[in-house]
Structure 1
Amino acid sequence: MYNKKTEQHYVVKDCPECHNIKNEPSNQYKLYISRASGAFICHRCGVKGSWFDFKNKLDDGHVQITKYETKPTNAEDLNVAQQKVTYQHNLLNSNNSTKQYLIQNRGITAETLQKYQVGTSQFKFLIRNEQTTSSEWKVLECVTFPMSRLDSHSKIQYTKHKIRSITNKSAMKMEPSGTALGLFGYHTIPLNATQIVITEGEYDAMAVHQCTGLPAISLPNGCRSLPVDLLPLLEKFTKIYLWMDDDIPGQQGAEKFAKKLGVSRCFIVHSNLPNQQHSILYKDANDVLLKSNIDMNELIKQAKVLPHDRIMTYGDLKNDVYREMFGMQDGSKPMNGVQSTTLPRFVNQILKGHRRGELTILTGPTGIGKTTLLSQLAIDFASQGVNTLWGSFEIKNVRLIKKMLCQYMGAEQIHERNFNEASQQFEQLPQHFMNFYGTTNVDQVLDAMEYAVYVNDVHHVLIDNLQFMLSGQGTGIERFENMDRAVEKFRKFATQHNVHITLVVHPRKVDDGHELGLSSVFGSAKATQEADNVIIIQNAKDHRFLSVKKNRFDGTIGNVPYRFDKESNRMIELTEEQVERLKAGQLEITY
């Protein structure tokens, strides 16, 4: 079937979905099939999907390529992971505060906790101090969730534990590092099961199983990711119920996962009945368990397949309309996007958060801190589960990551004695880096982006910067035309793949002291016209500020003064009082 193979893929000469390629060599060998999962993507016609989908696209539906190969797990690491299952005894044989929290606050019975082998222990996390902007290590009481999968002999193996603090939502990690991912609750599935419920979180999976008796599992990274090497574990199921959170990220995740798993066998479950007076009462399955008398079996009966991409009814959009108009019951506004913890006025108050499907243009004079801002926000969002892909064409990845690691630790530099500990935490962030540098064809970049979006569930792409990526590709008017085509392609990609693209574009040369505007962005007006957001880092007489010149979401624009804190390697917003003191000469800031 396949004609070539790489370390990760089988490469097929002719894609069955492509139109006639007329034996053109440049049109061949575009279909890549993952050796680990069977997931496929054609870089010519764009068709992609799961192994389940691929088989159904062929006439007989019985093609075979190879036995699924799972990521090898180091024997020593696996032994450590297996030993960590003993954490459950700390929970089940005691009446500690964590056990009481799980039973009383989460509504999970001791029987369910024991079946899912949930445990408890104390772990050390790097916690940021919002007042001092520094970070310090703290020991926190945590819940441990074992992740499992099948080994090459079809036996359950425990590969990792997800570890979550019961007091600090952001304190979460996977251990041990380097081992293959697994699914929480996979060991509870009966051998003859043909249907399964997949939830966003561990508490939701246990709630569903506790109330319905159906086999229920949760994903290792919530609604943000369904790693392709886990797809073989789900291949045997003829019916899959996707019960993600009833918010924007959850429903976006459900749509993406259905396309990965095979739309025809996936049914989307909502935590709210369609005839409820208010559309959004309950966020997830655990919320339903705690706050309602709704029969979860009824919610599962109401599940429907994903509607066609181009054909929708008001019923399909009703909940999204409600969310945009009124938000959630807790007062949150999910349409506002992911919020920032480090630059709240700039991101939360003006931009209204970080949203998928948008294109952001960032510009500013050379050396003013564009990469610093990008890396700070990327870490901020990645720490909240936003899968990120970096395309650094001006700064090599090693130097970029060195800067990011210092920012993550909130330190001017990392001491050698702290490197391994810091790296272990930093490695938990869902970040990926493209291996490009300097001039690169935009279509090569888009190919890499498309692969990362499908395989790694990336939904934030940073391109730093456009001029370096296109350097040497034309002169004069051709240079502007190349830029316009690249911007147009990035805009189209953001919309079609529902990802946020942040694109750095250098400004035109202006005289010192002149404030930059929309017309200062280099090239034609294409970039600013296509963009949803335009951000400029400006130089004032006595300080610098972040200027939002365009915000398509709700039209809010404005300026946020900041200072650069050398000790933490981060930008810090200035208060109005600090700005007044600067103007009066009572406060001095260096950048």
Structure 2
Amino acid sequence: MSSLQTWSYRKFKRNMNDIAVESIPEVSSVSIKKTLRNHTSFEEGHTCFIMSCNLCTRKPKVARIYINKTTGMFMCSGCKMTGQWQTLEAMLGNKKIRAKKAPAESVEEIEESIKKTLEDVASNTRLLRLLEEESLNSVLKKFKLPVTSKSVTDNLDVRLNDKETQMFFPLENIEAELVGYRKINSTRTIDEIFPTIKCGGILVSKAAKLKDTAVLVPSISDFLVLLNAKVSSNIVCLPNGVNNLSQYVLPSLEKYKKLILWLGNDSKAWEAARDFARKLGEKRCLIIRPTEIHKLPHLADSQDFKTILSEAQPIWHKSITTFANLRADVYSDLLNIDKVQGVKWKRFPTLNKILKGHRRGELTVITGPTGSGKTTFISEYSLDLAMQGVNTLWGSFEIRNARLAKTMLQQKAGFPLDENLHLFDQLADEFEKLPIYFMTFHGQQTIKVVMEAVEHATYVYDIGHVIIDNVQFMMGMSDDQKHLDRFWRQDAIIQAFRQFATRKNCHVTLVIHPRKEREDEDLTTSSIFGGAKASQEADNVLIIQDRRLISTKGKKYLQVAKNRYSGDLGLMTLEFNKAGLSYQQKIKTKEKKKAEELPVDSAIPVELNID
């Protein structure tokens, strides 16, 4: 490997989305409150504690520090400084802090970055409102944006480059200061935030009658349509759509007492609405429930937006509810049955046929003989979902993250990487864009430490799928826990993840080794190592059966042994493509129709021979 290729590989390893235990702040809202009371006056907002910034000398009258209640991350609205709670705690004079403190970002560096971005955009673009109406409409069509009245763009400081291939929408922070731009190009391949999401900028409408109410929409097209309709509320376009709600954006939404989430009517948007509401404060959030009538604004710009917004319903319910409160949810589920079934796999159509899809809030257990390819399969299984936008967190306790990432990179590419090193940078750049995060644990870890990392990542990155590979390696065999029953410890881990999956509406996949059994017998749900809790708590149980161990003509297949959602059970043949490290199904034209017509028995596993 050349020095350039070695550098590229190391750069790829550094840029993996690692989540280290050292980066997880040991904070709670109670401890933050206690420290603030001892040193300064503060207000408690919906998502942040707010205090005057005594550290900022640049704008002492208006500068305020916003401290996230969950993570302790702080942001100054004046000098734009950000950092972890331990840093601010040290600045406030508390001596009981960690020896290792996360340094705050350089104030000068942040301000210079913002200044340079604004100057570069201003010098290389012109205001969109300077165009004549005919030219304006032509540009909007070119960017696949809805055509609006000229008064809409006149009130926005949107800028256009000379070649008319890039458009820049202004992002403002909590103090209504311009801190960056959201760049879109005419091909609409990807939107970019400049200079960084850490500036806390959002695209927001300026004039509104209801100053304390905002409608959150996922795209610029929706933003423009509502602005053109002159709704009475503020309109906010979320920086990352339904993919993620960054904690750096939360301070900019603090001033609103009521938030109406209008994110769409597919399953991903519906799940995002519930996750975002938990992060924003459920009691102030209303939601436009997914129905055929309430489509996203840009999909039906002739809707009665005033009526739709007035019918927004609370997302928060008390501990005890009635069917009257659940009625709208039930109707939405029935109306969008295909979407409620979950995200479909593109590489494993047979799994779609049996499991119907990948749903949040469920617990999946996968087991199989040693060396049967559990990690290889589950990495591709999760990669498929991540490529469709499912935010994924990997906890690999058995193999190193670099090796896991290499496997996933090759599975995405579909060919050997060592024979195509000249393509590595291109492939790595594409892989880095996927919403995949890795915990930096390896070997034995306590369930408390792991759950802290999982909870932190779920809040910060809106994780929708957590993989633990595997439970036995995570448990280990330490002297501190040798007096505890091994089965009891495993049951405690399963219970913790079961509760987490339900509470956070996140899908958890646990890889568990089977107990040692005779090689000539197929594994069953009773073969899972430990007590019966794993199979009882799981919504889905997947078993890799490897008949090649007992017969030269035997096959390897994945058995769906439990499916709580639909009850359908079945088998999926696993044929390994060594070049791509892949089990992706290749359905032949003649067999595709036959496979689609083949029924899946709801009680007895039936092998679907799909090659």
TM over 0.5: yes
What is the Cα deviation at residue 250 of structure 1? 2.7
Aligned residue pairs total 505
Superposition deviation, residue 555 in structure 1: 0.5
Q: Distance in 2 between matches of 1:263 and 1:89?
A: 38
Q: Are positions 1:150 and 2:191 aligned together?
A: no
Could you tell me how far apart the structure 2 residues matched to 1:145 and 1:376 are? 37
CA deviations on 1:431-467 (whole Å, 9 max, x unpaired) are 2211211011011111111111222211211100000
Residue 566 (structure 1) aligned with residue 573 (structure 2): no
Whether contact under 8 Å (2:202, 2:252) holds in the other structure is no
Any conservation in 2 of the 1:49–1:260 contact (CA below 8 Å)? Answer: no
Distance in 2 between the 1:529 and 1:509 partners?
A: 20
Larger radius of gyration: 2
Residue 102 (1) aligns with residue 114 (2):
no
**Aligned AA for 1:39?**
N
1:222 correspondence with 2:223: no
Instruction: Letter of the 1:102 partner, please give it.
Output: K
2:284 to 265, 269, 283: 265
Cα distance, 1:352 vs. partner? 0.9
Check conservation: 1:231, 1:261, Cα contact below 8 A: yes
TM-score (norm 1): 0.73
- In 1, the alpha carbon distance for the partners of 2:411 and 2:306 equals 47
2:383 equivalent in structure 1: 379
Aligned: 1:537 with 2:549: no
Aligned pair 1:117/2:135, yes or no? no
8 Å contact kept, 1:342–1:572: yes
Give yes or no for the alignment of 1:454 onto 2:463: no
Aligned identity (percent) is 31
> Which range is displaced more, 262-271 or 87-96?
87-96
Q: How does 1:30-429 map onto structure 2 within 5 Å?
A: 38-41=67-70, 73=110, 79=116, 83=120, 93=135, 99=141, 102=144, 106=146, 108=148, 112=152, 115=156, 117=158, 146=169, 148-150=171-173, 155-161=177-183, 172=190, 174=192, 180=198, 185-186=203-204, 188=206, 193-213=211-231, 214-270=233-289, 279-289=291-301, 293-327=302-336, 333-346=338-351, 348-413=352-417, 415-429=420-434
Counterpart in the other structure of 1:486: 493
1:221 partner SS: coil
Superimposed CA distance per residue, residues 109-163 of structure 1 (whole angstroms, 9 cap, x where no aligned partner): 56646747386999xxxxxxxxxxxxxxxxxx99866472439x86312255356
Length-normalised TM-score, structure 2: 0.71
1:224 aligns to what SS in structure 2?
Answer: coil
8 Å CA contact retained: 2:362, 2:538: yes
2:560 aligned with 1:548:
yes
* Residues 86-113 of structure 1: CA deviation (Å, up to 9, x unaligned): 688899758769725735xx56556646
Deviation (angstroms), 1:477: 8.0
Aligned equivalents of 2:329 and 2:29: distance in 1? 42
Q: Secondary structure at the match of 2:454?
A: helix
The unaligned stretches of length 5 or more in structure 1 are 1-5, 19-31, 43-47, 52-63, 123-140, 272-278, 581-591
Distance across 2 between alignment mates of 1:175 and 1:241: 23
The residue type equivalent to 1:230 in the other structure is V
1:506 counterpart = 2:513: yes
SS at match of 1:565: coil
Give the alignment partner of residue 529 of structure 2, picking from 522, 536, 541: 522
Task: Please give the alpha-carbon distance, in whole angstroms, between the structure 2 residues aligned to 1:243 and 1:372.
Answer: 38
In angstroms, what is the RMSD of aligned CA positions? 4.3
1: CA distance between counterparts of 2:489 and 2:393?
23
**Distance in 1 between the 2:211 and 2:354 partners?**
49
Distance 1:442 1:353 in 2: 29
Match of 1:131 in 2: none
In the alignment, the residues of structure 2 paired with residue 425 and residue 519 of structure 1 have an alpha-carbon distance, to the nearest angstrom, of 41
Question: Which 5+ residue runs of structure 2 have no aligned equivalent?
Answer: 1-21, 35-47, 52-64, 76-87, 93-103, 548-552, 595-611
Deviation by residue 1:273-302 (Cα, 9 ceiling, x = unmatched)? xxxxxx53333222341xxx4321222222
Q: Provide closer, same or farther for how the CA distance between residues 461 and 110 of structure 1 changes in structure 2, counting only shifts above 3 A.
A: farther
Distance apart, 1:364 and its partner CA: 1.3
Paired residue secondary structure (1:198): strand
